[in-house]
Chains A and B, each alone.
Chain A
Amino acid sequence: MDAFEYASPSTVKEAIALLGSDWEDASVFGGGTDLISLLKDDVEETKRLVNIKRIGALHAIQNDHGSLRIGAAVTIEQLMSASDVRRDFPSIPDAAEGIRSPQLHNMSTVGGWICQRPRCWYYRNGFGLLALDASGKSLVEQGDNRYHAIFGNSGPAKFISPSSLGPVLLALDGRIHIEGPNGPRDIAAREFFVTPQKQGDRELALAPNEIVTGVSIPAASRGMRNGWYEVRPKEGLDWPLTSAAVALKMNGATVESARIAMGHVAPTPWPADDAAKWLEGKTINEDTAAKAGDAAVQGATPLSRNAYKVQLARVAVKRALLAAVGQLATAASA
C-alpha cells in the first residue's frame, strides 16, 4: 500500500473539493473495511483518503414526513439499533445481521455498505473488474465461476454485486443521495447499480468527485410488509451465496402489489418484476411463495460452475416472502 494523504473535512462541500477527477486521485473513506483491504492488496490505488465520518450531517437517521433518510456515515450497528427502522423495515436489520461480524457492524458505514467493491476473486487478485485475458476473453467464464453471476452476465461483467443493502433498497423503492461539485442529486437505487459494459466502467452510477451522502426510503414503502433471506456459505463472516429482498403492499391477506429483488446473482441487485407481478391478488403461503421463486429464476443463465445458485436464488425468494408475512419459522425447509 502506497503512502497517501489524509483529510477529515467537516462539511460535504469541503470533502468534495478534496476529491479528484480520477478514481485514483482520492477515495472517500468511511469505515474503510473494504477500501483499506483493497489498498493493501494494491487492487486499488489512491493518493488521498477523504474521511467523511467527521461530517455531522452524514450521521443522522431521520423520519421526514414518513420517508426514512439514513446518512452515509451511520454505522451498520447504529442502523441495526434504530427501533424506528427495525419496526417498519425489518429487512434492513435482517440483512445487516447477515454480515455476522460485530467488528464490521461497528466500523462499516451505510455508504460503504452500498459502495463496497465486488468480491469476485479475479478482481480481488488484480485481474481487473471484468477479468479479461489478453485476447479479451473472460477469465471468469473459462475459470472458477462458482460464486459468480447467474443473471445479467451476457456482457463482459460476470461478478456479483456484493451489497446486501442493495436488493433491500430496490425492494423498498429506495433512493441514493449523492453530492458533487454541481450540488446534490438523487437517483433510484434501481438506477444506481449498473452493469459495466467495457473496461474502465464502474459498477455504480457515481463520479470520482461525488460522494454518496445517504439513502432514503419513501413514506409509501413504510406500510409494506418486507422481508429478507440470504443463503450463507457458513454461519461466520462471509458474503451470501444468494439473497432476496421483498416488499408487499397488502390488502388484508391479499397482495395488492409487490417488489422483489434478488441479491448476489448478478452484477447489480436483480429485480424479479415478473414474479412480483404474478403475486398480485394472491395470498402468501408455501405454495405461492415457491411459485414466485420459480418465476424469479426464469431466464437464469448460469456459468459453467454455478448452476447450483439457481436453486439457492429460488429458495431465497420463497423464504424472503414467507419472512415478510411472518411465516418463515413455521415453513418447511426448501
Chain B
Amino acid sequence: MSSHDDKPRPNGEEKPNRSHAKDAQDKNLPDLSRRRFIKGAGIAGMAASAGALLADRVVEALPRPQTGAAGAAGVLGPGEVPVTLRINGKTQTLNLEPRVMLLDALRNHLDLTGAKKVCDRATCGACTVHIDGRAVYSCTTLAIDAQGREITTIEGIGSAEHLSPMSQAFWNNDAQQCGFCTPGFVMACTAYLNHEPHPTREGLEKSLGGNICRCGTYMGIKDAVLEAANATKSKGAVA
C-alpha cells in the first residue's frame, strides 16, 4: 500500500489549512500545521524511496478479451485513469490508479482528512463516510467504484464553526477522548439516525457494531445519539 498512501502533491494544489491557519495568522506566525509540516519534510525522502518501492512491483498484464463485447466492458488501469467523484455536493475529477481506495483519495488527493485510516481492513470504522446516505468503510471502497454515487464525509455535514447536531451532541456529552475514532462514529451515528426515526439504546448498540473506540467512550456516544435524536426530531434528518 505504501506506494500511493501518502502520495506527495505539488504544493500549488494545497488548500489553506482550516483552524490552524487562522491561529497562525492571528499570531503573525508562518502556517506550520502538523499535516503541512509532515508533508513538507516527507516529500524529499519519499521521492527517493518511491522508485525503489515500485520497481519490484511490476504488474504483468493479463491478456484482454479480443471480442467487441468485452472491449466495451472497458478494462481500465493498472495505471492512473480519470475518476470523477461527487463529494459533499461537489464534483471533482482525479487521476487515480484503480487500486486507490476512497479513503486515500479523500485524504491524500483532496485534503479531506476527517475520515481516518486506522485498521485499513473494514473493521474499526474510523474511515466511515456515507455513500448515497449509507455508512460504508472508505478504506475498503475503491474510489473508482464510488463514481456516480453521492459521497458525504464528516466535512460535508458541518464545520468547526457550525457543528452538525450530531457533532454538537458529541461535544455536549463528552463522547470522545483522543478523538481519532470520532469522525467515523459521528458518520455512523448520523446514518443510523437518518434511517431510524425511533432510536433505542439497543438498536444503537447494534448499529454501532462496525465502529471501535479504543478509549471506550461508548456511554457518552450513546447519550449523544439519543440527545441528537431529540434535538432533531422536529427538523427531520440529522444531516
Contact = CB atoms under 8 A, between A and B. Distances in A.
A7 B81 CA distance: 12
Contacts of B77: 3-6
A14 B73 contact: yes
A331 interface: no
Interface stretch (B25-33, B130-138, B162-170, B221-229): B130-138
B178 to A, nearest CB: 19
Interface string A36-64: 11001100000111010100000000000
A3 B57 contact: yes
Contact of A103 (B1, B62, B97, B137): B137
B237 interface: no
B230 to A, nearest CB: 22
B206 interface: yes
Given A47-B60, A47-B62, A103-B135, A237 B73 contact: no
Nearest to B101: A36
B128 interface: yes
A18 B73 contact: yes
Contact of A101 (B64, B144, B209): B209
A315 B101 CA distance: 41
Where chain B touches its partner, the secondary structure class is loop
A33 B122 CA distance: 6
B1 A1 contact: yes
Most B-side CB within 10 Å, residue of A6, A13, A29: A6
Contacts of A77: 134
Interface in B118-177: 120-123, 125, 128, 131, 134-137, 140-142, 144-145
A171 to B, nearest CB: 24
A141 interface: no
Contacts of B78: 2-5
Contacts of A9: 70, 73
A103 B98 contact: no
B75 A97 contact: no
B234 to A, nearest CB: 25
B1 A102 contact: no
A36 B97 contact: no
Contacts of A4: 59, 77-78, 98-99
A37 B140 contact: yes
B10 to A, nearest CB: 22
Most A-side CB within 10 Å, residue of B61, B62, B64: B62
Bin chain A's interface residue count: 35 or more
A18 B72 CA distance: 11
Contact of B145 (A48, A53, A235): A53
A100 interface: yes
Contacts of A304: none
Contact of A100 (B67, B72, B136, B210): B210
B136 to A, nearest CB: 5
A14 B76 contact: no
A77 B101 CA distance: 22
B124 to A, nearest CB: 9
A128 interface: no
Interface in A9-29: 9-11, 13-15, 17-18, 20, 25-26, 29
A106 interface: yes
B63 to A, nearest CB: 8
A37 B70 CA distance: 28
Contacts of A36: 101, 122, 140, 142
A328 interface: no
29 contacts: A1-B99, A3-B78, A3-B79, A4-B77, A4-B98, A6-B75, A6-B98, A6-B142, A8-B73, A9-B73, A11-B69, A13-B69, A18-B70, A32-B141, A32-B145, A36-B142, A47-B59, A53-B145, A100-B206, A100-B210, A101-B123, A101-B210, A102-B191, A103-B122, A103-B136, A106-B134, A106-B136, A107-B140, A235-B209
The 7 A-B pairs with the shortest beta carbon distances in the complex, nearest first, are: A101-B210, A100-B209, A6-B98, A3-B78, A9-B73, A103-B210, A17-B70
Given A6-B142, A36-B142, A100-B206, 9 more contacts: A4-B98, A6-B99, A6-B144, A7-B74, A17-B69, A25-B62, A29-B145, A49-B142, A103-B135
